[in-house]
């Protein structure tokens, strides 16, 4: 875990004081509403449909029990007793009052947390693989790099008023769990010729109304060059990105309109000049950052209790089969705690649930917690012997849903329930899907399947990269749900394709049932996943299932 | 009357009556030290050969949300410009620290802004050297 230096602590506290002052200056008229807006956004305060929302950064998704306890406390004191974990490893509080926000920020600073740059047209909080430091396929832990980027991007004087928001994700493994290809910049640890590690840099990925997969702009960047190279990309973007149309302002459009090669030349020229004044400084710094993320000391624990419980308790066994991932140490497991109970709100956790998770992490799991972009919570270092006790405790708190990677493990944006931009509901659709397939008892039979739902074209629910994506639109005042098929968020990233017209809210669930029935019929075996089946057969059989009545297609 | 904001507060604009040339005018050739005004989309790559003739540069901020001027200032400093550099147009006190850290010496504001955001609000930002993560990274490396 990264421990704040005196500098970090002084910085976040000064920032809270500054924001308190900005709120007062808004009230006394020194700042206009227009001027206040980007200032509050940079501090995580967003205006939603019904109220303000405070989005708190969980840098690269890592936190400890003390921080989780504080989030629970904030949820109880200043919100309605719960929080919402998001697809960008943030937590959102949906009901704060403007006057309370400086106190909330103060409470965050008390546990080395903040809400800086979680919104607005700046470099957003950096995300990383939620299995960092635990996964068995890792080239290196991506968090020291992500922390370096957090520091570098925080209040960077040049990049606070960019054409549009800017998202960076870091992955340390060949298996991409950080969706690096759908970010403005994706950074992937790679091995060079002499076995030294460096970065592959991707640029111009993004979802939204013009989804694009990021392109490789540097296949191997030495680690020392990371910051000057980032500055070169950001400077070219800041100066040349479009400011005339907010839907064309992301860097992906600049890449598209300028052409990758031309843009690459501009960036390389800027990089050469930049490196002269701002030399590679991060190697030594990275080493000192590495020390913060040194793995905890794992002790060999007796795991017979775990084996025994597996044979005796089918519920436990099912949960283990879906919610555990392999840890690099065979005595440990990575536990994913599902925040997707049947018919619940994806990503929501009550204050009590947060405390349960915090206590479990503290007692049994080296005091580390992660938030995944799939809106679940992870205990990355769990000795297997403790799994039965953890499962028992999770069951009592409604946190033992065994559905990771399955049809009810849905990513859904807030949609019409909270978001001012929404054109349709998103959360209730997720709830209906999980309920229906639970009734049908088909979840396990269907196997690995990622459904992702967005409540408008901005695509915060990542629907483009869902195996099945659902996009809620408004057609003359009526909700209409478009389906996309074949999307993929991993290292084999792909944008899903639309097989045909959308469905009304009532037609949607039956359409999904037909679609998945067809899949169960045509798959080669129980081992062929939906995505593999789709890739093998193309969309024709799925189209037929979705639109059996071609007359309706014509309408 | 415009005000110039520096770390020690407000000053009258000593260049209020100065004649600022555009980049095109400068490139047409000059024979005495001149003042230059740059729009945020200016390309400064050819500017170094004129540096000897430039006694001051001001970069225009058409709107405070348009951050191009910060990068343009940083680029000018990177190109070796060591002379006087000011930002003018729509900037707010909350941007003073970013302006200074991007390479500006001063910010020029009009009377209305000076009344709405008086000197004390700008002076509150004069400690911009203390809390820069970018400087902190350089120190730690
Ligand atoms: S996708 Fe649209 S509705 Fe959903 S959170 Fe984003 S902006 Fe709001």
Which residues of B are less than 8 Å from A7 in CB distance?
A: 136
Polymer length in residues for chain B: 141
Question: Which chain A residue shows the shortest CA-CA distance from B78?
Answer: A277
Q: What is the pLDDT of residues B45-88, one digit of tens each?
A: 999 999 999 999 999 999 999 999 999 999 999 999 999 999 99
Q: How far is the CA of A418 from the centre of ligand 1 (A)?
A: 9
Please answer whether residues A358 and A69 qualify as being in contact, where contact means their C-beta atoms are separated by less than 8 angstroms: yes
Question: For position B32, what pLDDT does the model report?
Answer: 84
Question: For position B5, what pLDDT does the model report?
Answer: 98
Q: What is the pLDDT of residues A82-128, one digit of tens each?
A: 999 998 899 999 989 999 999 999 999 999 999 999 999 999 999 99
Residue to mutate among B45, B99, B131, with most A CBs inside 10 A, is: B131
Question: For position A551, what pLDDT does the model report?
Answer: 45
d(CA A490, CA A181): 8
Ligand 1 pocket, residue A416 CB under 6 Å: no
Give residues with Cβ within 8 angstroms of A413, minimum separation 6: A87, A419, A422, A426, A453, A454, A455, A460, A461
Please answer whether residues B13 and B1 qualify as being in contact, where contact means their C-beta atoms are separated by less than 8 angstroms: yes
Nearest Cα to A290, choosing from A460, A466, A83, A144? A144
Question: For position A280, what pLDDT does the model report?
Answer: 63
What is the secondary structure of chain B as a DSSP string? --EEEETTEEEE-TTTT--EEPHHHHHT--SS-EEEEE-TT--GGGGGGGGGGEEEEEEEESSTT-THHHHHHHHHHHTT--S-EEEEES--GGGHHHHHHHT-SEEEE-HHHHHHS-HHHHHTTTTTTTT-HHHHHHHH-
Residue B29: band (very low, low, confident or very high) from pLDDT cuts 50, 70, 90:
confident
Question: For position B120, what pLDDT does the model report?
Answer: 98
Q: Where are the alpha helices (DSSP H) in A48-176?
A: 65-78, 101-109, 143-153
Binary contact (A238, B67; C-beta < 8 A): yes
Q: What is the pLDDT along chain A (555 residues), one digit of tens a residue?
A: 899 999 999 999 999 999 999 999 999 999 999 999 999 999 999 988 778 999 999 999 999 999 999 999 999 999 999 999 998 899 999 989 999 999 999 999 999 999 999 999 999 999 999 999 999 999 999 999 999 999 999 999 999 999 999 999 999 999 999 999 999 999 999 998 888 999 999 999 999 889 999 999 999 999 989 999 999 999 999 999 999 999 999 999 999 999 999 999 999 999 999 998 877 666 778 888 999 999 988 877 777 889 999 999 999 999 999 999 999 999 999 999 999 999 899 999 999 999 999 999 999 999 999 999 999 999 999 999 999 999 999 999 999 999 999 999 999 999 998 898 999 999 999 999 999 999 999 999 999 999 999 999 999 999 999 999 999 999 999 999 999 999 999 999 999 999 999 999 999 999 999 999 999 999 999 999 999 999 999 999 999 999 998 645 554
d(CA A265, CA A260): 9
Ligand 1 pocket, residue A134 CB under 6 Å: no
Sign of CA dihedral A361, A404, A150, A351: negative
d(CA A91, CA A83): 6
Ligand 1 pocket, residue A187 CB under 6 Å: no
A189: helix, coil or strand?
A: strand
d(CA A145, CA A276): 22
Q: Which of B98, B121, B138 sits opposite A157 (nearest CB)?
A: B98
Can you read off the two tokens belonging to residue A122?
């700046």
Binary contact (B71, A285; C-beta < 8 A): no
Please answer whether residues A168 and A248 qualify as being in contact, where contact means their C-beta atoms are separated by less than 8 angstroms: no
Ligand 1 pocket, residue A116 CB under 6 Å: no
- Test site for ligand 1: of A246, A413, A479, most ligand atoms within 8 A of the Cβ: A413
Only one residue has tokens 């820069």, namely: B132
Please answer whether residues A60 and A128 qualify as being in contact, where contact means their C-beta atoms are separated by less than 8 angstroms: yes
Q: How far is the CA of A99 from the centre of ligand 1 (A)?
A: 26
Question: For position A555, what pLDDT does the model report?
Answer: 47
Cβ of A281 under 8 Å from any chain B Cβ?
yes
Residue A552: CA count within 13 A, CB half-sphere: 14
Question: For position A282, what pLDDT does the model report?
Answer: 63
Domain residue limits at B135: 2-140
Q: What is the pLDDT of residues A269-308, one digit of tens each?
A: 999 999 988 776 667 788 889 999 999 888 777 778 899 9
Which residues of B are less than 8 Å from A30 in CB distance?
A: 93, 116-117, 121
State yes or no: pLDDT of B101 exceeds 80.
yes
Put the strands of the sheet holding A324-326 in their side by side order.
Answer: A62-63, A369-371, A377-383, A332-337, A324-326
- Please state, as a whole number, how many other Cβ atoms lie within 10 Å of the Cβ of residue A514: 16
Only one residue has tokens 């044979």, namely: A311
A90-93/A52-57 β-pairing: antiparallel
Which residues of B are less than 8 Å from A288 in CB distance?
A: 140
Can you read off the two tokens belonging to residue B131?
């809390």
- Please state, as a whole number, how many other Cβ atoms lie within 10 Å of the Cβ of residue A552: 12
Cβ of A148 under 8 Å from any chain B Cβ?
yes
Question: For position B95, what pLDDT does the model report?
Answer: 98
What atom of ligand 1 comes closest to residue A420's alpha carbon?
Answer: 8
Only one residue has tokens 């088909």, namely: A442
Which residues of A are less than 8 Å from B117 in CB distance?
A: 25, 30-31
Which domains, from first to last, does chain A contain? 6-109 (3.90.480.20), 142-292 (3.30.413.10), 309-396 (3.90.480.20), 411-554 (3.30.413.10)
- Please state, as a whole number, how many other Cβ atoms lie within 10 Å of the Cβ of residue A549: 8
Compute CA A194 distance to the chain's CA centroid, rounded to the nearest angstrom: 33
Q: Return the axis-axis angle of helices A351-364 and A387-396, rounded to nearest 10°.
A: 170
Radius of gyration of chain A (CA): 23
Split into its structural domains, chain B has a count of 1
Q: What is the CATH classification number for the domain harbouring B98?
A: 3.40.50
Q: pTM here?
A: 0.95
A87: helix, coil or strand?
A: coil
Please give the angle made by the CA atoms of A443, A444 and A446, to the nearest 5 degrees: 70
Sign of CA dihedral A140, A143, A144, A145: positive
d(CA B106, CA B7): 8
- ipTM confidence: 0.96
Binary contact (B101, A277; C-beta < 8 A): no
Burial of A17 by CB count in 10 Å (0-12 exposed, 13-18 middle, 19+ buried)? middle
Question: Which chain B residue shows the shortest CA-CA distance from A279?
Answer: B138
| DSSP category for residue A296 | P
What atom of ligand 1 comes closest to residue A422's alpha carbon?
Answer: 3
Q: How far is the CA of B94 from the centre of ligand 1 (A)?
A: 30
Ligand 1 pocket, residue A413 CB under 6 Å: yes
Question: For position A281, what pLDDT does the model report?
Answer: 65
Query: Facing residues of B6 across strands?
Result: B9
Please answer whether residues A328 and A397 qualify as being in contact, where contact means their C-beta atoms are separated by less than 8 angstroms: no
d(CA A141, CA A526): 34
Ligand 1 pocket, residue A415 CB under 6 Å: yes
What is the secondary structure of A221-270 as a DSSP string? EEGGGHHHHHHHHHHHHHHHS--S-GGG-SHHHHHHHH-HHHHHHHHHHH
Ligand 1 pocket, residue A460 CB under 6 Å: yes
Binary contact (A160, B67; C-beta < 8 A): yes
């Amino acid at each position: 875990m990264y421990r704040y230096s005196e500098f970090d602590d002084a910085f976040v506290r000064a920032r809270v004081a500054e924001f308190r002052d900005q709120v007062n200056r808004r009230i006394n008229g020194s700042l206009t509403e227009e001027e206040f807006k980007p200032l509050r956004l940079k501090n995580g305060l967003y205006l939603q449909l019904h109220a303000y929302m405070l989005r708190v950064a969980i840098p690269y998704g890592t936190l400890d029990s003390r921080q989780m306890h504080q989030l629970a406390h904030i949820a109880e004191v200043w919100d309605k007793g719960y929080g919402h974990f998001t697809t960008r490893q943030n937590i959102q509080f949906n009901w704060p009052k403007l006057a309370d926000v400086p106190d909330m920020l103060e409470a965050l600073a008390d546990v080395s947390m903040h809400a800086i740059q979680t919104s607005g047209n700046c470099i957003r909080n950096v995300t990383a693989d939620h299995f960092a430091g635990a996964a068995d396929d890792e080239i290196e832990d991506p968090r020291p790099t992500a922390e370096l980027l957090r520091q570098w991007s925080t209040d960077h004087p040049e990049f606070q008023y960019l054409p549009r928001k800017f998202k960076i994700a870091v992955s340390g493994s060949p298996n991409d769990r950080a969706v690096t290809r759908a970010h403005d910049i994706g950074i992937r640890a790679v091995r060079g010729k002499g076995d030294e590690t460096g970065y592959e840099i991707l640029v111009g990925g993004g979802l939204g109304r013009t989804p694009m997969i990021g392109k490789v702009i540097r296949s191997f960047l030495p680690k020392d060059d990371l910051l000057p190279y980032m500055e070169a990309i950001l400077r070219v973007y800041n100066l040349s990105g479009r400011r005339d149309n907010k839907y064309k302002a992301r860097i992906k459009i600049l890449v598209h309109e300028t052409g990758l090669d031309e843009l690459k030349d501009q960036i390389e020229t800027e990089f050469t000049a930049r490196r002269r004044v701002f030399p590679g400084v991060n190697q030594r710094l990275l080493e000192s950052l590495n020390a913060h993320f040194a793995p905890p000391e794992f002790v060999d624990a007796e795991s017979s209790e775990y084996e025994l419980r597996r044979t005796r308790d089918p519920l436990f066994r099912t949960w283990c089969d879906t919610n555990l991932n392999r840890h690099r140490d065979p005595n440990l497991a990575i536990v994913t705690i599902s925040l997707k109970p049947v018919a619940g709100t994806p990503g929501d956790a009550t204050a009590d649930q947060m405390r349960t998770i915090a206590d479990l992490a503290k007692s049994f799991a080296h005091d580390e917690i992660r938030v995944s972009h799939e809106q679940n919570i992870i205990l990355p270092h769990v000795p297997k012997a403790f799994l039965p006790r953890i499962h028992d405790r999770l069951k009592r708190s409604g946190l033992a849903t065994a559905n990771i990677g399955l049809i009810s493990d849905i990513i859904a944006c807030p949609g019409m329930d909270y978001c001012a931009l929404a054109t349709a509901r998103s959360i209730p659709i997720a709830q209906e899907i999980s309920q229906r397939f639970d009734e049908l008892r088909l979840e396990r039979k269907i196997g690995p399947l990622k459904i992702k739902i967005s409540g408008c074209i901005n695509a915060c629910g990542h629907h483009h990269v869902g195996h099945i994506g659902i996009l809620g639109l408004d057609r003359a005042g009526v909700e209409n749900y478009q389906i996309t098929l074949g999307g993929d968020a991993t290292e084999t990233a792909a944008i899903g394709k639309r097989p045909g017209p959308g469905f009304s809210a009532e037609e949607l669930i039956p359409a999904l049932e037909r679609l998945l029935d067809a899949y169960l019929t045509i798959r080669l075996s129980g081992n062929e996943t939906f995505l593999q089946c789709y890739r093998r057969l193309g969309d024709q059989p799925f189209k037929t299932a979705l639109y059996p009545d071609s007359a309706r297609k014509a309408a | 009357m415009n005000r110039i904001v520096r770390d020690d507060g407000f000053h009258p604009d000593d260049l209020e009556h100065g004649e600022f040339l555009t980049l095109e005018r400068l490139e047409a050739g000059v024979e005495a030290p001149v003042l230059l005004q740059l729009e945020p989309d200016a390309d400064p790559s050819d500017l170094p050969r004129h540096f000897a003739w430039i006694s001051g540069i001001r970069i225009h901020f058409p709107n405070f949300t348009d951050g191009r001027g910060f990068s343009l200032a940083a680029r000018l400093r990177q190109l070796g410009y060591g002379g006087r550099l000011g930002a003018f147009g729509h900037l707010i006190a909350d941007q003073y620290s970013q302006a200074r850290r991007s390479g500006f010496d001063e910010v020029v504001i009009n009377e209305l802004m000076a009344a709405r955001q008086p000197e004390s609000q700008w002076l509150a930002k004069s400690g911009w050297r203390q809390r820069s993560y970018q400087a902190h990274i350089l120190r730690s490396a």
